[in-house]
């Protein structure tokens, strides 16, 4: 969005312009439920803030919320007439008061802390670090922005759509006269990702131009809006069940819920939905549901394709830790690639806020006796170990209360290992687990419930855990293999071997650090028989993706048995220098719990991970199916012998339509040609892909009405993924949006599918409308 020098106006034109702006602002505030709100008014008035980029770059910028109540615009006082940057409220991930960001901690003094705040963006965009003129002004900015963000998130899909179309209309009305010419109408359609032939645009215009004036105004614009928001597919469904004077009675709605949505709904449930969703009070008094109310119901989060029961914490959390899939990150400290990308505490914060429960810390000796974290033998930047621990401590339990595993890749000297132990002890305090739970030596893992809000250290240990219950004291230090079990590739192993030869000795492990390793002692894997006979439950191995895939394909049942009472961590091959990811599904199929991915790299593999952990309250822990928790299980995902895991289903999906798909190019005339791909990921027998035809030049309201059938043999391990792409006959299609969820979490019937962008963030107003049916094969 660009702000340029306003055109010169007469006094009367200026008064009219200001009145229209006031009206627009009022309507947008009403959309957000913030009409007359003082904090919103503060943002709309705006003010000067000091923008901080470095110790030498601190410049004053004027910030202001625009009339659409969703765009924050700022300018330099010296470049008033130049184009200035702006960003959407929907691009903001969080607003953090004080000196919480790396930039503010590094480039400002502690005394300005109360006047500081940071705007944290979704994706890879850098934080916006700001200083207000007073503590009260900083508070007003933070409170106001948080209020608008919360209100925007709280809008249902229908209101978001109305808000979006209204503001598209304002953009198209170039001369701000509350009238739309035929040219402006065509521009509006382009804004909305829809290209039509001139003849059709003229027909549409004439349909609405009842006054024959050559422009649309007042009721004519309302008529045009009605045509835009018309959903023919909803009309058909509604008319099928609206049998009471053209409206839905409670009995009609109950029949729809039972027959189409496959819900066990009572007449009382139908009455409750009418009370909740019917916007017309007169219709509500008659216990009826209008078409508008029906559409509001279909757009509500409870009615989307993800079961609302599964969206909350619904699983048993009292089983041993090894019985759960655990959301896990690799090279958590990196924001980009692992050769020269920046390391940042922000990367830990982002992963933890996404529900990640196992983070990695690559620890090396730093200057001034302070250990640092970075990707060894590369050009990645470094962060202080203590800063990473501080960030982890602050953000570990904001999304989930369940335990966080700190996976230490330790390359430090004894002295700096002792510093590491000291930092973890002082910063994490009593939340750091340093002894087994209970008074006796455990024989299995505690549960996530037992370990709520606790930190678990994964790393090397000098002795067996049983020594914690023995009166004999262990040695202060001991030699251990300098090549970690997590070494990522041959080149790194060779570099570490050279380092070891140069020092002419093995690295030593500090007792202080060793004693902090309780339930996750890192050991080398020497085969399933050796692990069964010689390893305790708390001794765990890490597997490079290639080795793990070999085991998962050739010895799947043995791997499953191994993972019943022991933890396995999988990590990407070191050859993935771009921090790309592998497909995590084969490892989940073999019962592996800690399948670590590069969270900084958003891709199809990360979307599968996000879909796996979308459920169970986004706690980062998902209970494995019973046959992956049974030491006598005969399940093998490759051969698929008969057993309780075989629950052969037919999944029928009809892709009906799409709504407000985003452009993939910023150019106004660039319109998407959307195509939808539906994928099933799971055991090899269930993997399948089906694709619709593409719809030319329509990202606003494309309609496909195409049906697909999938055979699913092991539904508890299957994921369903909806992908929308912009079709290109000459090159690869471009990504538009996707949504992934577990097969067992699908709601049947007519459902909206929300869409997420490449970063995994929700695309406002965008979605698919589908019909889902699951039947026994």
In DSSP notation, 662-715 reads PPSS-STT----EEEEEEEESSGGG-EEEEPPP-TTBSSS-EEEEEEEEEES-G
Pick the catalytic residue: 163, 310, 323, 330?
330
Task: Assign 208 a pLDDT band (cuts: 50, 70, 90).
Answer: confident
* 358-387 confidence digits (pLDDT tens): 999 999 999 999 999 999 888 889 999 999
The model's confidence at residue 694, banded by pLDDT at 50, 70 and 90, is: very high
Stretch(es) of the chain classified as CATH 2.30.29.30: 11-154
| Residues 656 and 772: beta-carbon distance below 8 Å | no
For residue 18, the SS3 value is helix
Instruction: Measure the CA–CA gap between 499 and 413, rounded to whole angstroms.
Output: 13
**Could you tell me whether strands 58-65 and 47-52 are parallel, antiparallel, or unpaired per DSSP bridges?**
antiparallel
Contact 388, 345 (CB under 8 A): yes
Q: What are 593-624's pLDDT values in tens digits?
A: 999 999 999 999 999 999 999 999 999 999 99
pLDDT at 664 over 90: no
Cβ neighbours, 10 Å, residue 267: 12
CATH 1.10.238.10 domain span(s) along the chain:
158-229, 232-303
Take residue 448 and report the two structure tokens written for it. 């996530």
569 is in an annotated binding site: yes
Fold of 649-776: Immunoglobulin-like (2.60.40)
167 labelled as ligand-binding? no
Angle between helices 182-191 and 198-208 (to 10 degrees): 110
Which helix (H) or strand (E) segment holds residue 541: the answer is strand 539-544
* Per-residue pLDDT at 765: 81
Q: Is 365 annotated as a binding residue?
A: no
Q: Establish whether 728 is an annotated binding residue.
A: yes
Q: How far apart are the first and last CA of the chain?
A: 52
For domain 232-303, which architecture applies? Orthogonal Bundle (1.10)
523: closest CA among 534, 513, 512? 534
Is 423 marked active-site?
A: no
Residue 28 annotated in ligand binding? no
Which two tokens mark 18?
């200001």
Question: Residue 204: its pLDDT value, please?
Answer: 76
Model pLDDT for residues 113-154, shown as the tens digit of each residue = 999 999 999 877 889 999 999 999 999 999 999 999 999 888
The reply to whether 460 sits in an annotated binding site is: yes
Q: How large is the average pLDDT for residues 541-557?
A: 97
409 marked among binding-site residues? yes
pLDDT of res. 471? 64
Whether 495 shows a pLDDT value over 80: the answer reads no
Q: What integer is the mean pLDDT of 294-305?
A: 91
Query: Residue 491: what pLDDT?
Result: 44
* Calpha distance 269→34 (Å, rounded): 31
What is the rounded distance in angstroms from the CA atom of residue 515 to the CA atom of residue 425?
A: 11
Residues 6+ apart with CB under 8 A from 43: 64, 65, 72, 141, 144, 145, 148
Closest among 466, 461, 497, 464 to 477, alpha carbons compared: 461
Per-residue pLDDT tens digits for 415-424:
999 999 999 9
321-597: CATH class: alpha beta
Q: Is 127 annotated as a binding residue?
A: no
- Which of 754 and 221 is assigned the larger pLDDT? 754
Q: Which CATH number fits domain 158-229: 3.40.50.720, 1.10.238.10, 1.10.10.10, 3.40.50.80?
A: 1.10.238.10
Determine if residue 697 is labeled as part of a ligand binding site. yes
Average pLDDT score over the chain: 89
* Catalytic residue (choose from 163, 323, 375, 771): 375
Measured in degrees and rounded to the nearest 5, phi and psi for residue 507 equal: -65, 155
pTM score, two decimals?
A: 0.88
| 65 pLDDT above the threshold of 90 | yes
Give the pLDDT band (50/70/90) at residue 667.
Answer: low
> Which band of pLDDT confidence, cut at 50, 70 and 90, is reported for residue 390?
very high
CA distance readout (Å), 190 to 116, 158, 193, 697: 40, 21, 5, 10
φ and ψ of 623, to 5 deg: -65, 130
Annotated active-site residue 713? The verdict is no
- Written as one string, the DSSP assignment of 379-406 is ----EEHHHHHHHHHHHTTSS--S-EEE
Quick: pLDDT tens for 180-199. 888 887 777 777 767 666 77
Is 178 known to sit in a ligand binding site? no
Pairing label, strands 477-479, 508-510 = antiparallel
The reply to whether 126 sits in an annotated binding site is: no
Q: Is 80 exceeded by the pLDDT of residue 222?
A: no
Residue with tokens 């299980």: 633
Q: Is the pLDDT of residue 4 over 60?
A: no
- Report the CATH fold assignment for 11-154: PH-domain like (2.30.29)
Strands 719-726 and 674-681 turn out to be antiparallel
**Is the CB of residue 169 less than 8 Å from the CB of residue 67?**
no
How many whole angstroms separate alpha carbon 383 and alpha carbon 363?
Answer: 10
């Amino acid at each position: 969005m660009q702000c340029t020098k306003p055109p010169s106006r007469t006094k009367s034109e200026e008064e009219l312009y200001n009145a229209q702006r006031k009206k627009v602002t009022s309507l947008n505030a009403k959309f957000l439920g913030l009409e007359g709100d003082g904090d919103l008014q503060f943002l709309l008035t705006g003010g000067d803030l000091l923008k901080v980029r470095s110790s030498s770059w601190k410049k004053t910028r004027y910030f202001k919320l625009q009339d659409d109540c969703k765009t924050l615009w700022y300018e330099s006082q010296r470049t008033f007439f130049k184009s200035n940057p702006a960003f959407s409220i929907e691009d903001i991930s969080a607003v953090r008061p004080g000196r919480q960001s790396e930039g503010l901690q590094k480039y400002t003094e502690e005394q300005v802390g109360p006047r500081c705040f940071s705007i944290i963006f979704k994706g890879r965009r850098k934080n916006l670090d700001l200083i207000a003129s007073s503590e009260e002004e900083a508070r007003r900015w933070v409170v106001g922005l948080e209020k608008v963000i919360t209100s925007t998130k709280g809008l249902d899909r229908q209101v978001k759509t109305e808000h979006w179309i209204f503001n598209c209309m304002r953009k198209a009305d170039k001369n701000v006269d509350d009238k739309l010419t035929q040219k402006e109408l065509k521009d509006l359609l382009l804004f909305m990702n829809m290209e039509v032939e001139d003849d059709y645009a003229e027909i549409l215009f004439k349909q609405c131009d009842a006054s024959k004036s050559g422009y649309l105004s007042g009721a004519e614009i309302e008529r045009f809006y009605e045509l835009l928001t018309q959903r023919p597919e909803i009309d058909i469904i509604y008319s099928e069940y609206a049998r009471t004077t053209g409206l839905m009675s409670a009995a009609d709605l109950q029949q729809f819920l039972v027959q189409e949505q496959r819900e066990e709904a009572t007449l009382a449930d139908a009455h409750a939905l009418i009370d909740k969703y019917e916007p017309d009070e007169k219709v509500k008094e008659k216990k009826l549901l209008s078409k508008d109310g029906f559409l509001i119901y279909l757009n509500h989060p409870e009615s989307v394709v993800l079961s609302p029961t599964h969206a909350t914490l619904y699983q048993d959390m009292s089983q041993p830790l090894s019985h759960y899939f655990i959301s896990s990150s690799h090279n958590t400290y990196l924001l980009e690639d692992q050769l020269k990308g920046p390391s940042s505490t922000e990367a830990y914060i982002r992963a933890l806020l996404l529900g990640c429960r196992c983070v990695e810390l690559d620890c090396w000796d730093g200057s001034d006796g302070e250990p640092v974290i970075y990707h060894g033998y590369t050009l990645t930047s470094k962060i202080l170990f203590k800063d990473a621990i501080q960030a982890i401590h602050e953000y570990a339990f904001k999304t989930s209360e369940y335990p966080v595993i700190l996976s230490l890749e330790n390359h430090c000297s004894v002295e700096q290992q002792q510093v590491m132990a000291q930092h973890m002890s002082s910063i994490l305090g009593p939340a750091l687990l340093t002894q087994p739970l209970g008074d006796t030596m455990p024989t299995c893992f505690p549960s996530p419930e037992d370990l709520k809000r606790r930190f678990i250290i994964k790393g090397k240990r000098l002795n067996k855990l049983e020594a914690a219950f023995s009166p004999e004291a262990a040695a202060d230090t001991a030699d251990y293999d300098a090549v970690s079990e997590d070494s990522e590739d041959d080149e790194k192993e060779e570099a570490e071997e050279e380092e070891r030869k140069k020092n002419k000795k093995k690295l030593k492990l500090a007792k202080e650090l060793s004693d902090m390793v309780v339930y996750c002692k890192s050991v080398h894997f020497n085969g399933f028989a050796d692990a069964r006979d010689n390893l305790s439950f708390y001794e765990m191995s890490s597997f490079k993706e290639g080795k793990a895939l070999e085991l998962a394909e050739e010895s799947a049942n043995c791997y499953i048995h191994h993972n019943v009472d022991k933890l396995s961590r999988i990590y990407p091959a070191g050859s993935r220098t771009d921090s790309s990811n592998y497909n995590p599904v084969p490892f989940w199929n073999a019962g592996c719990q800690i399948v670590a991915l590069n969270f900084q790299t958003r891709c199809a593999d990360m979307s599968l991970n996000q879909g796996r952990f979308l459920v169970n309250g986004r706690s980062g822990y998902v209970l494995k199916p019973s046959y992956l928790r049974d030491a006598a299980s005969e399940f093998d995902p490759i051969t698929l012998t008969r057993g309780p895991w075989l629950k052969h289903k037919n999944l029928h999906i009809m892709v009906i339509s799409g709504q407000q798909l985003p452009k993939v190019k910023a150019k106004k005339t660039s319109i998407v040609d959307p195509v939808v791909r539906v994928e099933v990921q799971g055991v090899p027998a269930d993997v399948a892909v089906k694709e619709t035809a593409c719809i030319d030049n329509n990202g606003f309201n494309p309609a496909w009405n195409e049906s697909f059938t999938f055979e699913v043999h092991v539904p508890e391990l299957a994921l369903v993924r909806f992908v929308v792409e912009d079709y290109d006959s000459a090159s690869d299609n471009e990504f538009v949006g996707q949504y992934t969820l577990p097969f067992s979490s699908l709601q049947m019937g007519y459902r909206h599918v929300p869409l997420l962008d490449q970063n995994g963030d929700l695309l406002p107003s965008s979605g698919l409308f589908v019909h889902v049916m699951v039947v026994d094969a």
